[in-house]
């Protein structure tokens, strides 16, 4: 199996003692689900703890950047958890760079300051150069340890890296090593992909079909394929802004559900969906079909739920996840919703690798790079 290129290897971390008395900016992804002020899943925080402890012990002065939520809300619930778990961290809920620099300049060796949600800083999502410059001016070195947001051209991901001596952190490195293996998987292989919008998944689908690999499309993405084949999907959701390319519609390696579960809890063959019906899950015949492919595969990549996850239709996804973990294949899992289902079934440790990146995993597997990777390696 191919190894990572030397261009990536030179950007992996040197001995951490190199960073003693250095101001080190670390981009983490602590965007965790918070309900009623309580963090429901701390896995994205937990995975970064050993590295931050080692960096602190090495005598670095650490500036932590992360985003949180989708509405620009304060990082405080996450910051409270981080400061309790790692007492060397201080939360600084300020958007004033003069105040932030004052804190950074007086930071003792081994201590860390956690900045407010980066998406509260004007210009973060547009990668405004002035914000990227302001962030990068806080440190001597930048470490990107947030693979899961590195498909986004944001100031705290791409802009800082372009302005700084930059490295990939250990979480990022682990993602790269495993997902690079999955780019050209050992055959026979299958990609099982679900979700709502096929338009965002086409490059990935083409990448594997072009390698002679079976691709199973589940969830509402299958509805676009069926419509393109002239079949009825009833009143089910589909991606209205997208037309499936001719090269995909009847590709011999493209698989779709054999049967479906309707909102009424009835089952129907994929080609006999009633005009007033809403499809919410894949059926038992579909699971049986997938089991045959799973048993004969040496590599299985799974990303995205196979049913209407947000309304509790999990049965098909759960059954297929169990079958994947019982196979002898190399197994790769990604996508927040899919990982949540696997977590609830206590299956995560049974996968060869579980990616912390949903969209980033898909983007990397489709192209072999990400904006966050290029920003570090193409300086």
Domain layout of the chain by residue ranges: 6-173, 184-345
Fold of 184-345: Rossmann fold (3.40.50)
pLDDT tens string 205-232: 999 999 999 999 999 999 999 999 999 9
pLDDT of residue 127: 97
Alpha-carbon distance of 15 to 19, in angstroms, equals 8
Please determine whether the domains at 6-173 and 184-345 fall in the same fold group of CATH. Answer: yes
Alpha-carbon distance of 171 to 178, in angstroms, equals 11
**Matching residue, tokens 């979700």:** 195
pLDDT of residue 2: 39
Low-confidence ranges of the chain (pLDDT < 50): 1-4
Are residues 276 and 262 in contact, defined by beta-carbon separation less than 8 angstroms? Answer: no
pLDDT of residue 10: 73
Alpha-carbon distance of 272 to 255, in angstroms, equals 17
Mean confidence (pLDDT) of the chain:
94
pLDDT tens string 243-260: 889 999 999 999 999 999
Q: Return the structure tokens found at 255.
A: 């698989």
124 Cα distance to chain centroid: 19
**Structural domain 6-173, CATH architecture:** 3-Layer(aba) Sandwich (3.40)
Alpha carbon distance, N-terminus to C-terminus of the chain: 28
- Cross-strand pairs, 331: 300
């Amino acid at each position: 199996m191919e190894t990572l290129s030397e261009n990536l290897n030179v950007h992996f971390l040197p001995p951490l003692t190199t960073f003693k008395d250095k101001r080190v900016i670390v981009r983490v992804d602590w965007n965790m689900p918070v309900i009623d002020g309580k963090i429901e899943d701390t896995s994205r925080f937990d995975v970064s703890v050993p590295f931050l402890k080692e960096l602190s012990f090495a005598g670095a002065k650490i500036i932590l950047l992360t985003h949180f939520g989708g509405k620009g809300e304060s990082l405080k619930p996450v910051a409270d958890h981080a400061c309790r778990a790692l007492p060397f961290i201080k939360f600084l809920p300020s958007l004033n760079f003069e105040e932030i620099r004052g804190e950074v300049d007086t930071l003792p060796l081994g201590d860390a300051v956690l900045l407010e949600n980066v998406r509260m800083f004007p210009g973060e999502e547009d990668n405004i150069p002035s914000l990227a410059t302001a962030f990068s001016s806080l440190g001597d070195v930048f470490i990107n340890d947030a693979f899961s947001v590195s498909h986004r051209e944001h100031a705290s991901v791409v802009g800082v890296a372009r302005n700084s001596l930059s490295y990939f952190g250990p979480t990022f490195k682990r993602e790269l090593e495993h997902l690079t293996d999955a780019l050209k998987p050992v055959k026979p292989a299958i990609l099982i992909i679900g979700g709502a919008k096929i338009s965002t998944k086409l490059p990935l689908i083409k990448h594997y079909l072009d390698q002679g690999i079976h691709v199973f499309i589940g969830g509402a993405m299958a509805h676009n394929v069926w419509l393109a084949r002239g079949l009825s999907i009833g009143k089910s959701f589909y991606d209205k802004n997208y037309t499936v390319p001719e090269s995909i519609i009847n590709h011999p390696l493209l698989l779709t559900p054999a049967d479906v579960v309707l909102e009424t809890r009835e089952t129907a063959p994929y080609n006999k969906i009633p005009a007033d019906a809403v499809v919410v899950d894949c059926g038992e015949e579909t699971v049986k079909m997938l089991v045959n492919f799973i048993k004969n595969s040496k590599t299985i990549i799974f990303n995205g739920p196979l049913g209407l996850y947000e309304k509790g239709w999990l049965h098909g996804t759960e059954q297929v996840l169990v079958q994947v973990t019982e196979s002898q294949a190399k197994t790769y899992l990604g996508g927040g919703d899919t990982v949540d289902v696997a977590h609830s079934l206590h299956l995560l440790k049974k996968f060869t690798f579980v990616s912390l990146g949903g969209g980033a995993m898909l983007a990397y597997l489709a192209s072999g790079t990400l904006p966050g990777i290029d920003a570090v390696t193409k300086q």
